[in-house]
Structure 1
Amino acid sequence: DDFWGRFEGVAEAVKFNHGRAVKQMGTLGRGNHFVELCTDMSGSVWLMLHSGSRNIGKELAEHHMAIAHNLPHNQGLVDRDLAVFVADTPQMAAYRNDLYWAQEYAQYNRAIMMGLLKGVVRKEFKKAKVAFEPEISCHHNYVSEERYDGLDLLVTRKGAIRAGSGEYGIIPGSMGAGSYIVKGLGNEKAFNSASHGAGRRMSRSEAKRRFSVRDLADQTRGVECRKDSGVLDEAPGAYKPIEKVIDQQRDLVEVVAKLKQVVCVKG
């Protein structure tokens, strides 16, 4: 279709991975990506998942970062990661083309997984005649073209989601803590944004050094999930308390529902 047809227009350096990108569409990935079955305070059941643009998005990002690092105007920076593309240049145009394609890939990826998950629930609970409410879908770690104070801007939400007035969002905690469904308050001083999640208290390597399998089991008690050494870096103790994170952004969002996971699947 048109989406895969536009893959021909992305950076030549990643085109060899077309087959892998196709195969990974509709898959979870590792790290903090998850699929969860949750309940809220009213007893309603929620299906929630978190994933992105998989390996192809990572490769496109690394390709363009390497180009930016070598541009003349980015030489001598205190931090190489501050390298930028200049507006209205071929490099910026190529970056935006690939960026938007990868963001669309991420959206399709999540939609396919949610469709599969709904199908499983319908199949396993036929007698319950399961009905689903409209989905809440929000990007994270992405770029959006928006207008503030009369200026057209590229807003980069790293570790953030959009929280425009009345817009629904999802702010997950960790695999042992709750998550929140929120509605944006449209705070333009924060560029209509809110946090993407609880955020880490420590690095993945530090979490692996600090926590044991027993710690992980204790911290995820009551949740059906992996409790092995392969996910120690995702131990709830490695993340900030989600309640405090939510409380500190009351001027950005209002809480619609608090969720508690029953099942958490990590990639």
Structure 2
Amino acid sequence: MPTKASPKVLNYASHVDDNTLTQAAETARMPFVHPHIALMPDAHFGKGSAVGTVIPTTGAVIPAAVGVDIGCGMIAVQTRLRAEDIDGMDLGRLRTRIEDAIPLSPGNYNSGLNRFEFTRARIDSLDEQATDDGVDLSHSPKWREQLGSLGGGNHFIELCLDERDVVWLFLHSGSRGVGNKIAQKHIKVAQRLCRQWWIRLPNADLAYLPQGTPELTAYLRDLSWAQRFALENRAEMMDRFVAVFAEWFGDNVPGGVDAGSDSLEVDRINCHHNYTVRETHAGKDVWLTRKGAIDAHEGVRGVIPGSMGTRSYVVRGKGNPAGLCSAPHGAGRRYSRSEARRRFTADDLAARMTGIEYRHGDEWVDEIPDAYKDIDQVMADAADLVDIEHTLRQILNVKGT
């Protein structure tokens, strides 16, 4: 059950630090918040506003609350295969094929646009939207090459099994460098305007763009494009993942069993967890910013990842109005990256990843599961917000540095 952490903050997190609560209360005091802020079970301290915060606003949007990885989110594909169908197959070879098909790590883009037949249609559609809506992408001349690339940090690609031993493909990423450039551009505009108008803010990252201004109109136009890019970026990577997985599976099946990508996929879920959208809450139309939260309206399906080496969940929303029809986006960090590196080693990570195929090394120590909250507790705290449909456990993990 949620608790009232401050007059306009409803807290669903059973484990949350004082800095995060202070940050949420600070955001909730902005005069245009309606009716309250919902702090998700995975909430933790962030830049400007806490990660895991759902912020409904009337008449204004806070660009830094949306964040710099606009449209970051998850995509999951259920296949027709079961664990016994891939038992004994070389997961290391699959991992290298994935790493060859999908550029990893910040700054790594595609060297060309013609390797996969489905890529061009996505680029053309995004190009058309940018032209029709007047989205200026001159700051990101390489945005086309970024489509279908993973990035780094907590972004990942995984092969999973659910509670029935059904095989799932799973990944986490967002709008890459182009989304970051769009976000930084409008955050600076909001900060400049608030200084110009002598608006006193608790911190500069709560600078906002008022409704009715050309600056908000421009931000929402660019935001819509960046959210679309993030959605298509995940779909592009997933299509590549499905293709290389089907090829790998076919290579391992005697007798040339049909493993075409079209015949493998049974279900697909693609959802944002860093974005702003128009919704109605407590009788008013608001701009709802989900910073580290997913849509959990009644019946809406979503994906909540754990951390590297822990379970993830396919969920269905309950439409809880107190929770602003939202749910957590993952485990949420317990330790900062620098603190995790101070506490843990590559050997600690290897012990936690026993039985999971991954690329060994100390680059991912800050992503060790111990650096995150207990995903089982997060899901227990989210019981009023979502129902769990499937529980996924990974057997292969790919990360960028």
- TM above 0.5, yes or no, is yes
Q: Give the alignment of 1:35-184 within 5 angstroms.
A: 35-71=157-193, 72-73=196-197, 75-126=199-250, 127=257, 129=259, 131-184=264-317
Shift in Å, 1:209: 1.4
Q: C-alpha distance in 2, partners of 1:77/1:40?
A: 46
Q: Is the 8 A contact 2:274 2:289 kept in 1?
A: yes
Change in 2 beyond 3 A, CA 1:186/1:74: farther
Q: C-alpha distance in 2, partners of 1:59/1:144?
A: 20
Aligned to 2:114: none
TM-score by length of 1: 0.95
Q: C-alpha distance in 1, partners of 2:244/2:359?
A: 20
Q: Is the 8 A contact 1:29 1:51 kept in 2?
A: yes
Q: C-alpha distance in 1, partners of 2:139/2:289?
A: 28
Aligned to 2:126: 3
Q: C-alpha distance in 2, partners of 1:73/1:123?
A: 59
Shift in Å, 1:228: 1.2
Q: Give the alignment of 1:153-232 within 5 angstroms.
A: 153-232=286-365
For the residue of structure 2 that corresponds to 1:259, the secondary structure is strand
Aligned to 1:253: 386
Q: C-alpha distance in 2, partners of 1:233/1:244?
A: 21
Q: Is the 8 A contact 1:69 1:75 kept in 2?
A: no
Q: C-alpha distance in 2, partners of 1:53/1:217?
A: 30
Shift in Å, 1:81: 1.1
Q: Is the 8 A contact 1:165 1:183 kept in 2?
A: yes
Aligned to 2:54: none
Change in 2 beyond 3 A, CA 1:6/1:131: closer
Which amino acid is the alignment partner of residue 249 of structure 2?
A: F
Which amino acid is the alignment partner of residue 206 of structure 1?
A: E
Q: Is the 8 A contact 1:205 1:233 kept in 2?
A: yes
Structure 2 stretches lacking a partner, 5+ long: 1-123, 251-256
Aligned to 1:28: 150
Q: Which has the higher contact order (CA 8 A, sep 6+)?
A: 2
State the percentage of identical aligned residues: 45
Change in 2 beyond 3 A, CA 1:201/1:133: same
Shift in Å, 1:75: 3.8
Q: Is the 8 A contact 1:160 1:195 kept in 2?
A: yes
Shift in Å, 1:6: 3.5
Q: C-alpha distance in 1, partners of 2:198/2:172?
A: 34
For the residue of structure 1 that corresponds to 2:354, the secondary structure is coil
Shift in Å, 1:74: 6.2
Q: Is the 8 A contact 1:186 1:252 kept in 2?
A: yes
Q: C-alpha distance in 2, partners of 1:128/1:47?
A: 19
Q: C-alpha distance in 2, partners of 1:155/1:58?
A: 20
Shift in Å, 1:2: 4.3
Shift in Å, 1:205: 1.2
Q: Is the 8 A contact 1:184 1:252 kept in 2?
A: yes
Q: C-alpha distance in 1, partners of 2:307/2:163?
A: 18
Deviations 1:144-174 (A, max 9, x none): 1111233111110001000111111111001
Q: Is the 8 A contact 1:74 1:84 kept in 2?
A: no
Deviations 1:207-251 (A, max 9, x none): 111111111111111111133111111111110010000000100
Q: C-alpha distance in 1, partners of 2:301/2:273?
A: 13
For the residue of structure 1 that corresponds to 2:269, the secondary structure is coil
Change in 2 beyond 3 A, CA 1:100/1:74: farther
Which 10-residue stretch deviates more, 65-74 or 160-169? 65-74
For the residue of structure 2 that corresponds to 1:138, the secondary structure is strand
For the residue of structure 2 that corresponds to 1:209, the secondary structure is helix
Deviations 1:179-232 (A, max 9, x none): 011111011111110000010001111111111111111111111113311111
Which 10-residue stretch deviates more, 121-130 or 172-181? 121-130
For the residue of structure 2 that corresponds to 1:147, the secondary structure is strand
For the residue of structure 2 that corresponds to 1:92, the secondary structure is helix
Shift in Å, 1:128: 6.4
Q: Is the 8 A contact 1:69 1:80 kept in 2?
A: yes
Shift in Å, 1:78: 2.0
Shift in Å, 1:5: 3.1
Which amino acid is the alignment partner of residue 271 of structure 2?
A: C
Deviations 1:24-56 (A, max 9, x none): 101111011111000011110000011100001
Which amino acid is the alignment partner of residue 42 of structure 1?
A: R
Richer in helix (by share): 1
